[in-house]
Amino acid sequence: MTLPSDMDSREFSKFREREDGQCAVAVDLGNADVSTGGGGGGDATYRSPEDFTVAYTSAETITLSGLPYTPTTVQFVSVKVQVSADKAVTYSPTGSAFSYAAGVLTVAGATFAATDEYVVTVIGPDKAYTAVTTSNRNTETDPLSAQHTPVCLVDTTNISAATHYYPSATGGTMDGYKDISATGKFIDADGTLTLTLEVSNDEDAATADFNAIKFHDDDSLVDAEVASLTVTNGTLLITASKANLNYRRYRWVVVASGATNTVILYERKKAL
Amino acid sequence: MDEAKRAEIKGHIDDAYEVGCDLVALGRSIETKYIFGPIANNEHYKISEIMAIVHEVNDEHNPEA
C-alpha cells in the first residue's frame, strides 16, 4: 500500500492489510472503534430510511424498525434530524449520550419532534459478508427458481360442442419458460371430451400453424407419452406435463362433443 | 345456478350431511349424483358453488364453530 503524501502515520494506522490481501479500515466513531470493509469488503453501513425505518417516540427517543440485526449502542454513528425544509441538526455520540435498547434509541439532550425526518446511521455486519461462515453473500434478483406462473385456464361447466383453445386460440407464450404442466378434470356423462397440446414457432400468432405434439400423461396408472387425453361418459382427472417445451407458442385444445360437461384446467409454467 | 336450484341442492346436501363428515367428499358426491344420477342426469355444477352450499349447511349445523 502506498501512503499518500498528505496522510500522516496516525491516519495510515487506520488501514490494515488482511490475510487475504484485502484492505480493512478502522473508523474512529468517538466512543466506538469499528472496522469496516472487512470480510468481503462490502458495505457495513445501515442508514434510514433506505435500510430501516425510524419513528418519532419522544423528545429524546426514536424507535427503529426493520434492521436486519440488533445493534449495540456503540455502533450508532449519527442521527441527522431535518427539523425544517432548510435546517438540519446532527447528533453524534461524541457530543450526545446515545443509548439503545429494544428498538429505541435515546439521544440525551435531543429535541425531537413528531414532524421531524430522520437519517440514522449505524454500523453493522457487512451486508455482503457472513463472518461466521467466512463467505460472501450473493443475492440473485428474480432467480429462475422463482419464475413460475400458475393460472386457471378454465373452470366451468357446459362448454359448447366445439373446439376450445386455452389460454386462447392464438396460444400462450413460452418465452422465459421451459416446462409446462396442466391438471384438472373432465366430466362428460353423454359424450366425449378430448385434450391435446399444440405448438408453433410462427412469429404471427394470428395466422400461426399450430401442430399437435405428444405430452406426458403423469397419471400413475399411465405414465407415458400420449397424443391426447379423452373421456367418454365418465370422469377423467388430468395430470399432463411437457418438459422442455421449446416452442414459441402453445395452446391446450379441448374438443367437446356435447354441451353438457365439466371442464377444469389449471396450468403451471416454470423457467427452471 | 338459480336460487331454486341452489335451494334444491342445499336440500340434498342437508339430507346427506352428518356431523363430522368429510365436507369435500360430500360435495363431490353431490356433484356426481347430479351428473350421473340418481339425483339428476347430466346436470353439471361447479364444485366451488356446491362447496359453498356445503359449508353453508355445515355452518348451520355448527352454529358455534
What pLDDT digit, counting tens, does each position of B4-61 carry? 999 999 999 999 999 999 999 999 999 999 999 999 999 999 999 999 999 999 999 9
- Which residues in chain A have Cβ-Cβ distances shorter than 8 Å to B36? 189
Regions in chain A scoring below 70 on pLDDT: 1-41
Q: Quick one: pLDDT band at residue B3, thresholds 50, 70, 90?
A: very high
Cβ contacts below 8 Å, chain A against chain B, sum to 23
Give residue A4's pLDDT: 52
User: A156, A157, A237: which to substitute to probe chain B, counting the most B Cβ within 10 Å?
Assistant: A157
Give residue A6's pLDDT: 52
B42 touches chain A (CB under 8 A): yes
Q: What's the pTM?
A: 0.67
Give residue A127's pLDDT: 87
Give residue A21's pLDDT: 53
A160 touches chain B (CB under 8 A): no
Give residue A50's pLDDT: 94
CB contact under 8 A, A157 and B36: no
ipTM of the complex, rounded to two decimals? 0.86
B63 touches chain A (CB under 8 A): no
Give residue A51's pLDDT: 95
CB contact under 8 A, B46 and A156: yes
Give residue A10's pLDDT: 44
Would you call B47 helix, strand, or coil by DSSP?
Answer: helix
CB contact under 8 A, B48 and A155: yes
B1 touches chain A (CB under 8 A): no
